[in-house]
Amino acid sequence: MASWAFSAYVGRVAAWVLVLALLAAVICGWLWNAREAWAILYAALLSVLNMLILGSRLLALPAAPAAASARLGAAVLQRWVLTILGLLLALAWLHLPIVGLVIGLLLAHFVYLGFMLRERSKKRR
């Protein structure tokens, strides 16, 4: 039951990130240009992939603390590698603007922070 609740939580966060990124991309595309919009969507999708990687690793953690620690460390390393390679791809090959990438990454992180604060306030009641 706990694993289902956690996967639903990750799904809700990912859905909110994608919906808000789409809204931000439409607004930025209308105000600036389409390249900014694509950069926002790209960065938000990269963040969602990172969340899904970590979420899947947390669901499959072994019971032994040492093995769980090693698996979690590998997941964090995998996320950093994915993020760095994804951003290098966006800048060097796709030539996406930095402002749009930053907006997309910050949007994803603020949505995640909002969900975490909401969960924390629920536990305090």
Q: What is the per-residue pLDDT across 16-38, written as a single tens digit (0 to 9) for each?
A: 999 999 999 999 999 999 999 99
pLDDT of residue 31: 93
2 vs 16: CA distance, rounded Å:
21
Q: What is the per-residue pLDDT across 34-57, written as a single tens digit (0 to 9) for each?
A: 999 999 999 999 999 988 887 777
**H/E element holding 25?**
helix 2-31
Parent domain of 119: 2-124
Q: Report the largest interatomic distance among the alpha carbons of the chain, rounded to a whole angstrom.
A: 52
Hey, how many other C-beta atoms are within 10 angstroms of the C-beta on 34? Answer: 12
Asked if residue 15 has pLDDT above 80, the reply is: yes
Hey, how many other C-beta atoms are within 10 angstroms of the C-beta on 72? Answer: 14
Q: What is the per-residue pLDDT across 65-79, written as a single tens digit (0 to 9) for each?
A: 888 788 888 888 888
pLDDT of residue 92: 96
Mean pLDDT of the chain: 87
pLDDT of residue 87: 95
